[in-house]
Amino acid sequence: MRIIECPDYASMSRRAAAMIAAQVLLKPDCVLGLATGSTPVGAYRELVKWNREGLVSFKEARSVNLDEYLGLAPEHEQSYRRFMQENLFDHIDIVPENTHVLNGLAADPDAECAAYDAMTAALGGIDLQLLGMGHNGHIAFNEPGDDFGLGTHVVTLSERTIDANRRFFASRDEVPRRALSMGIRSIMLARRILIIVSGEDKAEALAKAVSGPVTNEVPASVLQLHPDVTLVADSAALSALKGGRAE
């Protein structure tokens, strides 16, 4: 794992955006695996800016997103489809049909998950997968204890994740309890992985993920087994790793 330490969130965002832009410049029709949440917002903002300035074009790029809440329509204010439209897709030259987000209203969620894996494989697989990480070490909606061998599947959110995501909803009761999510297997199939982490509140989980044992109790620890992972994090997020950092 390559670790890039940045002084703050803004520089972390620029570094991450630069890696994504470089991927698109090297292979214009690449498949980008994308994430939602607070962490990637700054990187998406940089990509929008560089796209407007003509530095990078997404005209040929394809995208697949990590996850979506089960039961939320694409237009719902808190759906991940809407998040992607508002934070990235509506502001860059990507072709709408080339952006893929799981359908939270699928009549048969298991069939939706299987079709999503088949679709991703048909695109040629993910060239670069962007990830954030939860306070409990989750990646996508793969919670502590989940099986590393799963492809895209239906998940039940942990109480901690419901609490963390509550800030986006009017009340805790409104946070969906289930989601559709790429599994660890789907993520590990990506050729390259870029994980971005910001803030001291994630330092402990990040230290466990990077230099603790590989265990499904810390889902992000599986990344130690992937041959091409770059962690871009701010100094606060890396603070618990100091001295004992495993490169």
Q: Is 13 or 39 the residue whose CB approaches ligand F6R more closely?
A: 39
The smaller minimum CB distance to ligand F6R, of residues 58 and 83, is found at 83
Using the rule CB under 6 A, which residue among 16, 17, 19, 39 binds ligand F6R? 39
Given the rule CB under 6 A, which of 35-43, 70-78, 115-123, 206-214 is the region that contacts ligand F6R?
35-43
Residues designated as active site = 67, 136, 138, 143
175 binds ligand F6R (CB under 6 A): no
Contact flag: residue 35 with ligand F6R (CB under 6 A):
yes
Site for ligand F6R in 118-157 (CB under 6 A): 132-134, 138-140
**Chosen residue from 15, 31, 37, 56 binding ligand F6R by CB under 6 A:** 37
Counting contacts by CB under 6 A, is residue 66 touching ligand F6R? Answer: yes
Length of the chain in terms of residues written: 247
Under the binding rule (CB under 6 A), the answer on residue 100 touching ligand F6R is no
Binding of residue 180 to ligand F6R (CB under 6 A): no
DSSP collapsed to 3 states, the chain: CEEEEECCHHHHHHHHHHHHHHHHHHCCCCEEEECCCCCCHHHHHHHHHHHHCCCCCCCCCEEEECEEECCCCCCCCCCHHHHHHHHCHHHCCCCHHHEECCCCCCCCHHHHHHHHHHHHHHCCCCCEEEECCCCCCCECCECCCCCCCCCCEEEECCHHHHHHHHHHCCCHHHCCCEEEECCHHHHHCCCEEEEEECCHHHHHHHHHHHHCCCCCCCHHHHHHHCCCEEEEEECCCCCCCCCCCCC
Query: Cα 66 vs. chain centroid, distance in angstroms?
Result: 6
**68 sits near ligand F6R (criterion: CB under 6 A):** no
- Closer to ligand F6R by Cβ: residue 4 or 247: 4
Query: Number of residues in contact with ligand F6R, rule: CB under 6 A?
Result: 13
* Residue 183 binding ligand F6R, by CB under 6 A: no
Could you list the residues that contact ligand F6R (CB under 6 A)? 35-39, 66-67, 132-134, 138-140
